[in-house]
């Protein structure tokens, strides 16, 4: 007859397996605090950053020895990313940074246009890098075309660095009328100019013997005393190289020709060693805008300061 009783060894093995299962589940619940977390297999949507530096260097070496023919460069780039399941955006961005460090402006233009043609990386940072590369390569017409397209599409959300870059391009080539147009657009949109823009516009007004407008410009945008920088993720208020007393600012505004051109003090040099081009925001009351007595200033309507948001 068949026996329905189990042996002692079988019962012990079953009990041990039950205890192991319970312990394993208890360990997962203790570690996760809410029970075992379900794991889903990653098919192809990944943001892998491991190995992107070496791959970006290979991409740079792949296109460095090529000619400037568009079809040849685009074919090499297409073959480089042919076996990737998704577009290697991180690799391309790091390659663009390497090319920018080496001042390979033609390659930056080619790689950026190829990336944008694929529908990838359509950010303001990519457009700014393309605009900068076009300007450095001497292709001013293409840079102006790109600027007009971006300004038309994003007229109310255009970053201030684009205005500063275009004014710098025109300032280096002494295209004063176009500088005035862009500065008038900034005033109309209520975008407060940086000290670099104010300095360039003031120099142009002095070259054109527009001393009254130069005086109004310096009166409306006095040099700030403080600026904010991010140090290890914290927002720190530090003294700038423009820091000075209010009486000195007013004396320079009233007498722009008698401007003190001496070296800044030691505190200003120590605080502005590694960030002279940082964007400056005005403090609560010391650097408030001074309204003009006469409201007949050209290119300089009254505006209010709108703080930027990240």
The Cα–Cα gap between 127 and 112 comes to 8
The Cα–Cα gap between 98 and 59 comes to 10
Q: What are phi and psi of 237, to 5 degrees?
A: -95, 120
pLDDT(203) > 90: yes
Looking at residue 43, its pLDDT comes to 53
Looking at residue 34, its pLDDT comes to 60
Compare 52 and 245 and report the one with higher pLDDT: 52
Q: What are phi and psi of 104, to 5 degrees?
A: -90, 80
The Cα–Cα gap between 284 and 246 comes to 14
Compare 38 and 64 and report the one with higher pLDDT: 64
pLDDT(64) > 60: yes
Report the chain's terminal Cα–Cα distance, integer Å.
82
Separation in Å, CA 86 to CA 8, 57, 82? 57, 19, 9
Cβ atoms of 252 and 260 closer than 8 Å: yes
Looking at residue 241, its pLDDT comes to 75
Percent of the chain with pLDDT over 90: 48
pLDDT band at 243 (very low <50, low <70, confident <90, very high): low
pLDDT(175) > 60: yes
Within 10 Å of residue 103's Cβ, how many Cβ atoms?
Answer: 10
Looking at residue 51, its pLDDT comes to 77
Looking at residue 49, its pLDDT comes to 57
Compare 34 and 86 and report the one with higher pLDDT: 86
pLDDT band at 31 (very low <50, low <70, confident <90, very high): very low
**pLDDT of 93-106, one tens digit each?**
999 999 999 999 99
Q: Which of 88-92, 195-199, 282-286 has the lowest mean pLDDT?
A: 282-286
By C-alpha distance, which of 151, 108, 147, 115 is closest to 130?
A: 108
Mean pLDDT for the stretch of residues 195-207 = 94
Cβ atoms of 140 and 168 closer than 8 Å: no
pLDDT(76) > 60: yes
Looking at residue 73, its pLDDT comes to 92
Does the predicted TM-score (pTM) go above 0.95? no
The Cα–Cα gap between 123 and 116 comes to 10
Compare 302 and 217 and report the one with higher pLDDT: 217
Residues 6+ positions from 167 with CB-CB distance below 8 Å: 179, 182, 183, 197, 200, 201
Looking at residue 33, its pLDDT comes to 54
Looking at residue 253, its pLDDT comes to 45
């Amino acid at each position: 007859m068949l026996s329905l009783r189990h042996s002692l060894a079988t019962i012990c093995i079953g009990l041990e397996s039950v205890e192991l299962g319970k312990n394993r589940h208890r360990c997962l619940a203790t570690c996760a605090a809410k029970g075992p977390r379900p794991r889903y297999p990653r098919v192809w949507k990944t943001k892998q950053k491991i190995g992107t530096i070496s791959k970006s260097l290979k991409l740079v070496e792949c296109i460095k020895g090529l000619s400037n023919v568009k079809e040849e460069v685009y074919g090499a780039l297409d073959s480089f990313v042919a076996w990737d399941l998704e577009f290697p955006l991180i690799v391309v961005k790091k390659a663009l940074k390497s090319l920018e460090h080496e001042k390979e402006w033609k390659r930056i233009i080619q790689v950026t246009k190829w990336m944008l043609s694929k529908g990838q990386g359509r950010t303001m940072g990519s457009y700014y890098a393309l605009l900068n590369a076009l300007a450095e390569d001497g292709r001013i017409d293409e840079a102006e075309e790109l600027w007009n397209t971006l300004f038309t599409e994003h007229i109310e959300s255009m970053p201030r660095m684009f205005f500063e870059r275009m004014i710098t391009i025109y300032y280096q080539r002494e295209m004063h009328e176009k500088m005035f147009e862009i500065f008038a657009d900034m005033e109309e949109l209520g975008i407060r100019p940086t000290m670099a823009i104010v300095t360039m516009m003031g120099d142009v007004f002095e070259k054109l013997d527009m001393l009254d407008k130069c005086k109004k410009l310096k009166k409306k945008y006095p040099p700030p005393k403080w600026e904010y920088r991010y140090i290890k993720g914290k927002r720190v208020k530090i003294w700038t190289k423009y820091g000075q007393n209010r009486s000195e600012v007013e004396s320079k505004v009233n007498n722009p020709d008698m401007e003190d051109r001496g070296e800044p003090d030691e505190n200003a040099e120590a605080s502005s060693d590694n960030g002279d081009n940082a964007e400056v925001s005005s403090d609560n009351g010391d650097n408030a805008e001074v309204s003009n007595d006469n409201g007949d200033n050209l290119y300089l309507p009254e505006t209010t300061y709108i703080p930027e948001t990240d």
